[in-house]
Chains A and B, each alone.
Chain A
Amino acid sequence: MSPKPTVAFFEFTSCEGCQLTVVDSLQDHPELLDAIDIVQFREAMSEKSDSYQIAFIEGSCTRPSDEAKIRAIREKAAIVVALGACAHLGGINAIRNRSDMQEVREYVYGDKANWFPTYEPRPISAIIKVDAVLPGCPIDRNELVKAVTHLLQGRMPQIPDQPMCIECKLKENVCVYTQGKVCLGPITLAGCDAICPTYGDGCEGCRGTISNPNFQSLREVMLEHGVSEEEIESRLTMFMTNQILAMAKAQ
């Protein structure tokens, strides 16, 4: 593809860590800058253009007033990519969906609660059509480079529908369950090169689930490893609150 595609980055409710990972990736892979033309990236540059072909959106939508901004991006961009767990799933922000929204507002903002018209955090795909997703908290930099490569080739980045255990075993990690840890790897979408188990921690499920997760069986695995019901729910809803709530609703 030539000339270089124009790319813009946007953030909604998030920690901006995924954009920081993009900045890191630009240092690891300076050739990215030869391949794409970044025209808007508040975290990394001051120049700004509103004409772009590819939009990367970080963050979840947590306010009704964000919706118009998200729709405006969709109208301008030929391709919209959800960047990271917040944009992909609602992310950590969605934990508050487990509670009553008014209570949450009062807990956070006290007597100013009504000044802040927030609502249930939701993924970008709840507002507009999203063409591709870069999952994770934060995103995986190799996956970012691969996604850009695919976009340059004129195809949509696709995340293989495989559980993380596959990658973890390819790396020949010692299963963290045998080390007394808890891991969501069996139901979590692969692509991060099993980074947490590689460093001895259990997977927290930040990339969301494979298309057909066996939650029931995984719950039993965790119980068998001495994890309490409460702890199981808190682990499963760290990144997957919206998915768990949707499943409960469907039943």
Chain B
Amino acid sequence: MTTLLKETLDSQSIYMPTPARIVDTVELTDLEKVFKLKLPSGFELNHRPGQFVQISVLGIGEAPISICSSPSRSTGGTFEICVRRVGNVTNAMHALKPGALIGVRGPFGRGFPIERFRGKDILFVPGGLGLAPLRSLINEVLDERGKYGRIIILYGSRSPKDLLFQAELKEWQRRADIECHVTVDRPDENWTGNVGVITTLFPKVTIHPRNMVSVVVGPPVMYRYVLMELLGKGIAEGNIWFSFERRMKCGVGKCGHCQMHHIYTCQEGPAFSYAEIKHLEEAL
């Protein structure tokens, strides 16, 4: 067994993808699909929650996609990515059927420092597609539930039909050892849950800031408002974590596209604590 990254480094070009097979696809919404990928035999992805892979559809191009399966559930060379259809590469991916090959490089970047979260309460705040990278971390934490304090998940989405991973959401809401609340901006006639932006969920949970880590992943506009809530609750800046979406062309700290001031997001991120990026105006 070797890791994909070692293969990428040892192969002739760090920019050349390894073919992985699509073993399953699950349509989550009109725009989002989960792809279960299998690496060639003998390879493991060996990623950390929060890391991403560069996915290629040869002839179309390459795009960075976060890994949405937890390391604990990515065995035998399989892993999952959740892809929103927004550009050429992601559109082409959506047209691919199980059995097709797709190019993979990575995993790249620094994931979340999960070992520093042990023993703490964790407040997950995913917005929209932000649940994809967070699902990797959430499931990793849940698979070792005893190592962490309270688990709180506050998930916001545009509308009920845009909710991702609905089966898992139901399971998280049912479990007694998870506090999971969901809100939508625009309800439909069957929606009985909370309506409003994600910050309207904060009054539903009590927060003890001294022992809390919060991990927030969502669209740029969401970060500011959630950040105000979290700082207002007294959570330390170093305990508030984000993940940034940047258009990496290489994933290996060369192409320059993801550089915020002096920081290459693909190398030092995409996971950052607020303490690390609060002085960077290009970050938030």
Are A and B in contact, CB atoms below 8 Å, in the complex? yes
> How far, in angstroms, from A15 to B95 measured CA to CA in the complex?
40
> How far, in angstroms, from A142 to B179 measured CA to CA in the complex?
58
Chain B CB within 8 A of A178 CB: no
> How far, in angstroms, from A207 to B60 measured CA to CA in the complex?
25
Chain A, 155-196, CB within 8 A of any chain B CB: 155
Chain A residues near B88 (CB-CB < 8 A) = 155
Chain A CB within 8 A of B91 CB: yes
Chain B CB within 8 A of A3 CB: no
> How far, in angstroms, from A154 to B88 measured CA to CA in the complex?
9
Chain B CB within 8 A of A153 CB: yes
Chain B residues near A155 (CB-CB < 8 A) = 60, 88, 91-92
Could you give, for residues 86-108 of chain B, a 1 whenever the CB lies within 8 Å of some chain A CB and a 0 otherwise? Answer: 00100110010000000000000
> Shortest Cβ distance from B66 into chain A, in angstroms?
23
Q: Which interface residue of B59, B88, B92, B95 has the most chain A CB atoms within 10 A?
A: B88
Nearest residue (CB) in A for B60 is: A153
Nearest residue (CB) in A for B61 is: A155
Could you give, for residues 74-93 of chain B, a 1 whenever the CB lies within 8 Å of some chain A CB and a 0 otherwise? Answer: 00000000000000100110
Nearest residue (CB) in A for B59 is: A153
> Shortest Cβ distance from B260 into chain A, in angstroms?
21
Chain A residues near B91 (CB-CB < 8 A) = 154-155
Could you give, for residues 45-82 of chain B, a 1 whenever the CB lies within 8 Å of some chain A CB and a 0 otherwise? Answer: 00000000000000110000000000000000000000
> How far, in angstroms, from A65 to B19 measured CA to CA in the complex?
55
Chain A, 123-161, CB within 8 A of any chain B CB: 153-155
Chain B, 229-243, CB within 8 A of any chain A CB: none
Chain B, 214-230, CB within 8 A of any chain A CB: none
Chain A residues near B95 (CB-CB < 8 A) = 154
> How far, in angstroms, from A154 to B95 measured CA to CA in the complex?
10
Could you give, for residues 98-142 of chain A, a 1 whenever the CB lies within 8 Å of some chain B CB and a 0 otherwise? Answer: 000000000000000000000000000000000000000000000
> How far, in angstroms, from A155 to B91 measured CA to CA in the complex?
8
Chain B residues near A153 (CB-CB < 8 A) = 59-60, 92
Chain A residues near B60 (CB-CB < 8 A) = 153, 155
> How far, in angstroms, from A145 to B95 measured CA to CA in the complex?
23
> How far, in angstroms, from A153 to B59 measured CA to CA in the complex?
8
> Shortest Cβ distance from A40 into chain B, in angstroms?
28
Chain A residues near B59 (CB-CB < 8 A) = 153
> Shortest Cβ distance from A45 into chain B, in angstroms?
30
> Shortest Cβ distance from A73 into chain B, in angstroms?
25
Chain A, 64-84, CB within 8 A of any chain B CB: none
Chain A, 196-226, CB within 8 A of any chain B CB: none
> How far, in angstroms, from A154 to B90 measured CA to CA in the complex?
12
> How far, in angstroms, from A155 to B94 measured CA to CA in the complex?
13
> Shortest Cβ distance from B271 into chain A, in angstroms?
30
> How far, in angstroms, from A68 to B50 measured CA to CA in the complex?
54
> How far, in angstroms, from A172 to B92 measured CA to CA in the complex?
35
> Shortest Cβ distance from A22 into chain B, in angstroms?
24
> Shortest Cβ distance from A16 into chain B, in angstroms?
32
> How far, in angstroms, from A153 to B58 measured CA to CA in the complex?
11
> How far, in angstroms, from A72 to B92 measured CA to CA in the complex?
30
> Shortest Cβ distance from B24 into chain A, in angstroms?
23
> Shortest Cβ distance from A94 into chain B, in angstroms?
32
> Shortest Cβ distance from B61 into chain A, in angstroms?
10
Chain B residues near A154 (CB-CB < 8 A) = 91-92, 95
Nearest residue (CB) in A for B57 is: A153
> How far, in angstroms, from A228 to B91 measured CA to CA in the complex?
49
> How far, in angstroms, from A153 to B87 measured CA to CA in the complex?
13
> Shortest Cβ distance from A78 into chain B, in angstroms?
16
> Shortest Cβ distance from A132 into chain B, in angstroms?
13
> Shortest Cβ distance from A197 into chain B, in angstroms?
26
> How far, in angstroms, from A155 to B60 measured CA to CA in the complex?
9
Chain A, 37-77, CB within 8 A of any chain B CB: none
> How far, in angstroms, from A161 to B88 measured CA to CA in the complex?
16
> How far, in angstroms, from A153 to B57 measured CA to CA in the complex?
11
Could you give, for residues 203-223 of chain B, a 1 whenever the CB lies within 8 Å of some chain A CB and a 0 otherwise? Answer: 000000000000000000000
> Shortest Cβ distance from A149 into chain B, in angstroms?
9
> How far, in angstroms, from A153 to B91 measured CA to CA in the complex?
11
Nearest residue (CB) in B for A158 is: B88
Nearest residue (CB) in B for A156 is: B88
- Could you pull out 10 A-B pairs where Cβ atoms are within 8 angstroms? A153-B59, A153-B60, A153-B92, A154-B91, A154-B92, A154-B95, A155-B60, A155-B88, A155-B91, A155-B92
Report which B residues bind A (CB closer than 8 A).
Answer: 59-60, 88, 91-92, 95
Q: A153-B92, A154-B91 are in contact. List 5 more A-B contacts (CB 8 A).
A: A153-B59, A154-B95, A155-B88, A155-B91, A155-B92
